[in-house]
Amino acid sequence: MYLGSCGGQKKSSNTLAPKSASESANPIACQKAALKGICSKNILTALCVRLPPYCPNNITGFIRVIHSLRRWQPLSAEAHPFDIHAFDASRLDIPSLLAGAAQAQALQGWTIIPAHRSQHSTIYRADPTNPTEFPVLSIKLYHRHDLPRATREEAIMGALQEFGVGIGPRPFYANETPDGLNDPVLISEWVHGTPLKNAPPVTDEEMWHRLMTALGIIKHLQFAFTAPSVPMMGNGAQQPKDALAMLDTALSILSPNHPAYETLAHLASRAHATIAPEWAKPPRIGLNRFDLEMNHFIWDGHHLRTVGFENTDWADTAYDIGQFCAHPLYEEVPPSHWVWFRWEFARLFHEEEIIFRSTTYSQIAYVLWAIRLTEKADSSTDPAQQSRLYAQRDRYLKKAQKAFTG
């Protein structure tokens, strides 16, 4: 069973729009009629999948998505028995939870402890005294105030829930200017499990398929339905010219007198000369993940879920796949495996063109990372780290030279 796009490869991007006014007005009846004779009556409970509040034009393609989750995202009744979807979020005492997070201390009915700190955010875990009455919560504080990150991440989580898949946490509350806190805040379901530390072994095909599902399912959120709450920020590329412009911006920061500038500038020039600025066929636009670290994928032994959507943005559906395949964090993954990854991703999502487009974005990323690694190495004061970064930069130079100079 393959994970097909909800409208099929040759459909327009508006494949999940309501079929008619009558169907839109009565989505439940539409869903029941569409599923009759296709799904077993227990499929929704077996998969913990709920249909979105609109009816796909191509229900067969949508069922492929559901069946793919059944194959690669099997859920177990033993994992976490709390019914997170039935929980009434209005029962949460938000002011008390915010006060507890502000002081990082226990409050009546809850134990709140810091779970993760980084330069950009702090995440607290809130455990209820009575775990049958309330779910375990994540309270995330955003230390960057340049964009509405909390409400944006809430909107994406909510859109995934509305789409009918629990691959991300259920959000409960978000505020950019909460009372009693200096930072924006998002309260959501705590995702149980262990964050992945490294890319899976190349022999673990099942886990790679789970990663493909986690990366790919978000691309099926319809722009027309989701863009009002998740507006485009322009972080990703919709055409090769957008990725090439990012390359030029990165190169402009490097001094022309730098020893590596001539080599990097030549590779950037070759990329411009080799790659057409626009695709011959307009690409499908979908949400892309730009936080591609493995610790955003959480495995509990039963299913793989994902967190960290604050930088997610609309782009060519192949863009983040190309970035993923070229990321320095996963340099130990053999190039042949990334070839398999692209082909398998395209096969599962019935989007053949994604192979060439993602490969092109990876080639541009080789040059981009060569520039970034040069800058990182130059700014490092640790000789050992500097040596490691320069060595990695040289490897990326070789990849870029192979891509653009033969």
Average pLDDT over residues 204-222: 93
State yes or no: pLDDT of 215 exceeds 70.
yes
pLDDT the model gives residue 50: 43
State yes or no: pLDDT of 70 exceeds 80.
no
The average confidence (pLDDT) of the chain is 83
- The three-class DSSP label of residue 27 is helix
State yes or no: pLDDT of 398 exceeds 50.
yes
**CB < 8 Å & 24+ apart, contacts of 247-254:** 247/271, 247/364, 247/367, 247/368, 247/371, 250/368, 250/371, 250/372, 251/371, 253/375, 254/371, 254/374, 254/375
| DSSP secondary structure of 197-265 | -SPPPTT-HHHHHHHHHHHHGGGGS-HHHHTTTS-----S-SSHHHHHHHHHHHHHHS-TTSTTHHHHH
Specify the CATH number of the domain 223-404: 3.90.1200
Average pLDDT over residues 219-226: 89
pLDDT the model gives residue 406: 67
Place of tokens 């991440």: 153
Average pLDDT over residues 348-353: 91
- The three-class DSSP label of residue 5 is coil
The pLDDT tens digits for 240-260 are: 999 999 999 999 999 999 999
Structural class in CATH, domain 89-191:
alpha beta
**CATH 3.90.1200, the chain: domain bounds:** 223-404
**CATH 3.30.200.20, the chain: domain bounds:** 89-191
The pLDDT tens digits for 125-179 are: 999 999 999 999 999 999 999 889 999 999 999 999 988 888 999 999 999 999 8
pLDDT band for position 39 (cuts 50, 70, 90): very low
Place of tokens 């949460």: 92
Per DSSP, 277 falls in state S
